[in-house]
Amino acid sequence: MTTLFTNACLLPCTADMPVIDRGWLLVTGEVISALGGGAAPEVPGAEVVDLGGDVLMPGMVNPHSHLAMSLFRGLGEDVDDRLYRYILPLEREFVAPDMVRAGTGLSALELIQGGVTTVADMYYFETVVAEVLDSAGLRGVVGQTLADFDPPDHRDFDEGFARVEELMDRYRDHPRITPGIAPHAPYSTGMAVMERVAAWAEANPGYPVQIHLAETGPETDWAAGLGLSPVQAVAQAGLLRPGLVAAHCLHVSPDDIALMAASGVGVAHNARANGKGGRGIAPVTAMRAAGIPVGISTDGPMSGNTLDLFAQFAPVSMFQKIAGGSRKPMPAVEVIRMATIEGARVLGLHRHIGSLEPGKQADLIRVSMAAPRLHPVYDIYATLVFSAMAPDVADVMVAGRWLMRGRQVLSVDPAKARADAAQVAGRFRGRMAEIDRALRGR
């Protein structure tokens, strides 16, 4: 299949972040074969898609999420102890392959409609997550979680590692699914298990390790018990290494940042989820200045409510401006860089995706410029960051395959995704009513 896009506001997201007015781009099979500005070439046999001035840019990258948790979206939102009252009991009782399938399916639909083409997930039953993302045509980095808090799919770490091996066996050579391992956090795995994960990473180069790092007060206290910061603890376990995707990194000192920069890790920044939890503002400007790649992520829809990267853009920019006390930090163009090529670098996929260049995978999105809130345009990056919304994404292509055209999703059945989610939510509601009754009866 050959597709020629013409008449585009082309954003290749290469090093100097150029804007090519009246640009064109040619997709041959799975890859981008050529692009440029000015008059498009004649390509016999190609389907010509005239974009009429709409934006054509790389599919966006979300480097940290828990997709199946879409089923917890908005649940007990204003209940102070919702985690212990509802979420943990519900997870313990209901997280099983069918629940993960339903939640990830709903999320796949949301990702496609929001122009996200690559997502990193850390949850349970990751072979199911991989199946759902594969069938939706998305690109996924799937990390099997390891944790010590009685998680739903492994009784002990040996069983957890066996799940990792099963995932690796099935997806090691998949063109769009990258399997990996996800120690939940330093305090919930411990030094010995982090050392075991580091040995796994040494034996499996090129496969990412995802972790929550420097996120919470109890985590800082746990590390302080060892006389270390959380970053130092991970470093001491041998896990601070290229391929580590560290989510949050809220509580990192200048020394921690230097250590992280020297070790080649990437950071997934969850501005909106962190803000909503009152957790703080990650020192993104300082981390990037040190050379650490930072991607923009949503976290799970339980804490962040949405998998919409457009909804993250304003907080990502504003938090750095507030922290810096000036309009200058985190200009719009840097936000879009983080959402594309820099996010791809965090996941180690930057040679294949994240920018529009000949030879790269044809993962791209069309952003419609029809909405009045997008006009006039003085700086297209400012328009995308502060005015665009997920419903402006019109078309989505991954590896040369259309996943959405004219807002119609082609690779996921939207009605089924919503119905499956509603069915699980019904079971959650029943259990929540029982929990409330039991608490009232006390």
Q: CB neighbours (10 Å) of residue 370?
A: 11
Minimal distance in Å, beta carbon 274 to Zn ion? 10
Q: Which is nearer to Zn ion, 110 or 299 (CB)?
A: 299
Q: Which is nearer to Zn ion, 256 or 299 (CB)?
A: 299
Q: Whole-angstrom distance between the N-terminal and C-terminal Cα of the chain?
A: 65
List the x/- string, 278-307, binding to Zn ion by CB under 5 A: ---------------------x--------
2-41 binders of Zn ion (CB under 5 A): none
> For residues 228 and 237, what is the distance between their CA atoms, to the nearest angstrom?
12
How would you classify the pairing of strands 408-409 and 401-405?
A: antiparallel
305 residue type, one letter: N
> For residues 185 and 160, what is the distance between their CA atoms, to the nearest angstrom?
14
What is the total count of residues that contact Zn ion (CB under 5 A)? Answer: 1
Q: Which is nearer to Zn ion, 121 or 420 (CB)?
A: 121
Q: Which is nearer to Zn ion, 62 or 117 (CB)?
A: 62
Closest CA to 127 of 87, 180, 194: 180
Minimal distance in Å, beta carbon 279 to Zn ion? 12
Q: Which residue is nearest to Zn ion (CB)?
A: 299
425 residue type, one letter: A
> For residues 201 and 137, what is the distance between their CA atoms, to the nearest angstrom?
27
Q: Which is nearer to Zn ion, 299 or 342 (CB)?
A: 299
Minimal distance in Å, beta carbon 66 to Zn ion? 6
Minimal distance in Å, beta carbon 183 to Zn ion? 12
Minimal distance in Å, beta carbon 222 to Zn ion? 17
On the CB side of 59, CA atoms within 13 Å amount to 34
Minimal distance in Å, beta carbon 159 to Zn ion? 22
Minimal distance in Å, beta carbon 188 to Zn ion? 12
Q: Which is nearer to Zn ion, 211 or 339 (CB)?
A: 211
To which residue do tokens 């580590």 refer? 244
- If binding is defined by CB under 5 A, does position 219 make contact with Zn ion? no
Token pair for residue 211?
């972790």
Task: Walk across the sheet containing 244-248 and list its strands.
Answer: 60-65, 116-123, 139-146, 177-183, 209-213, 244-248, 266-269, 294-296
Q: Which is nearer to Zn ion, 188 or 361 (CB)?
A: 188
Residues at the contact surface with Zn ion, assessed by CB under 5 A? 299
